[in-house]
């Protein structure tokens, strides 16, 4: 497992805008996002579990108006920011989680057997 630099820690504000990034998941290039919630950083594929489409109608706006839920703006499905589990609406499971770490002011995402960086 490799650690890929994603962003500066200060780029992720609690309940604020997401930081988008691209990954290769199961052989396909996909959009992903990272957020901060209650001080911790979390990342997921930007793919609603109801229908596999990106969740943000407005770029990088993943949180609902309360800043407490991740919202699919198309379907109305909501997900827990800390686990990606379905919290309500038309979900078919939860979001695909991407491991993150944070050190020395930098957030890194972690590769896995089915999750790799996009080749240049």
Q: Per-domain residue ranges for the chain? A: 3-116
Q: Which residues pair with 78 in a beta bridge?
A: 71, 88
The yes/no answer on whether domain 3-116 falls in CATH 2.102.10.10 is yes
The strand pairing partners of 43, in sequence order, are 34, 98
Mean pLDDT by 10 residues, the chain (120 residues): 95 96 96 97 94 87 94 91 93 93 97 93
Question: What does the block give as tokens for 43?
Answer: 């990342």
pLDDT of residue 45: 97
115 CB-near residues (< 8 Å, 6+ apart)? 23, 24, 25, 98
Distance, in Å, from the CA atom of 12 to the CA atom of 27, rounded to the nearest integer, reads: 28
């Amino acid at each position: 497992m490799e650690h890929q630099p994603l962003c500066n820690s200060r780029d992720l504000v609690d309940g604020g805008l997401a930081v988008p990034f691209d990954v290769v998941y199961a052989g396909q290039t996909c959009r992903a996002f990272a957020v901060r919630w209650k001080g911790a950083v979390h990342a997921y594929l930007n793919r609603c579990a109801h229908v596999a489409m990106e969740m943000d109608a407005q770029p990088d706006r993943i949180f609902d108006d309360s800043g407490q839920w991740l919202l699919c703006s198309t379907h109305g499905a909501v997900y827990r920011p800390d686990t990606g589990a379905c919290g309500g609406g038309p979900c078919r499971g939860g979001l695909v989680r991407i491991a993150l770490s944070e050190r020395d002011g930098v957030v890194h995402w972690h590769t896995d057997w089915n999750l790799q960086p996009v080749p240049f």
